[in-house]
Homo-oligomer: A and B are copies of this chain.
Amino acid sequence: MIRKSTEIRQAQIKKAVLDIISEEGLHSISSRNVAKRVGITDGAIFRHFKSKPAILKSIMDDVKSGLLADLRAIASDDGNPESRLYRFLSTNIKYLMQNRGIAILLYSEAAHLNYKELRNQLHSVLSEQKSLISKIIRDGMKGGNWKKSVNIDDAAILYMGILIIFNVKLFMAGKDVAVDNYCKRMFNLMEEVLK
């Protein structure tokens, strides 16, 4: 019986949850299953998190301070809009590729979860993503890089569609999705619409 601090265990528990989601699906994140992966009993889980939704909430907080912080930085940096769009897209896609559990949480299942507060958090993550990409597009139109006739909201929808479809591809194709290739093709698709 090796003992570890709550801080370490919380990280292990969150990792176990995400691994299970990507390997077995959301329905498999039971206390017992998670505990087994961490190497403790299910009772111990509740020493480190007060409830199961609290684990998921903590994961969403990580997304906010990780991915969203990066995206925020890109959306407002001093590159030109094309460059920002491309980096935004590929940062986003690569994050989803490397954090498949989170991808599933964000884009397929969490929306229909039981936990109300979690759903709100999901909402806010998605809508911030959308407003960041809208900003880049708006900048590009203002700067004359792209035509102004396209509805910004439609273009943002297209962007979200690209993310979701990537998630579906990940799910169906397994490990090996050609990320760089996908990013380039989808960047071109967006430019096709915007130019």
Chain B residues in 8 Å Cβ range of A154:
185-186, 189
Does A158 reach chain B (CB closer than 8 Å)? yes
Q: How many copies does the complex hold?
A: 2
A138 and B193 CA atoms in complex are apart in Å by: 20
Mark each residue of chain A from 47 to 78: 1 if its CB lies under 8 Å from any CB of chain B, else 0: 00000000000000000000000000000000
A113 contacts across to B, CB distance below 8 A: 25, 27
Provide the bound-state CA to CA distance between A78 and B60, in Å. 50
User: Mask for A105-123, Cβ within 8 A of B = 1, else 0?
Assistant: 0001101111000000001
Rounded to whole angstroms, the CA-CA distance of A3 and B194 in the bound complex is 60
| Distance, CA A25 to CA B27, complexed state (A) | 13
Q: Which of A154-195 contact B (CB under 8 A)?
A: 154, 157-158, 160-162, 164-165, 168, 171-172, 185-186, 189, 192-193
Chain B contacts of A104 at CB under 8 A? 112
Q: How far, in whole Å, are A172 and B130 apart by their CA atoms in the complex?
A: 14
Q: Is residue A151 contacting chain B, with contact meaning CB distance below 8 A?
A: yes
Query: Closest approach, in angstroms, between the C-beta of A148 and any C-beta of chain B?
Result: 14
B25 and A112 within 8 A (CB): yes
Give the nearest-CB partner of A114 in chain B. Answer: B27
Contact with B along A124-148 (1 / 0, CB 8 A): 0000000000000000000000000
Q: A112–B161 contact, CB under 8 A?
A: no
A160 to nearest B CB, angstroms?
A: 6
Chain B residue contacts of A160, Cβ below 8 A: 165, 168
Question: When each residue 85-109 of chain A gets 1 if its CB lies under 8 Å from chain B and 0 otherwise, what string results?
Answer: 0000000000000000000100011
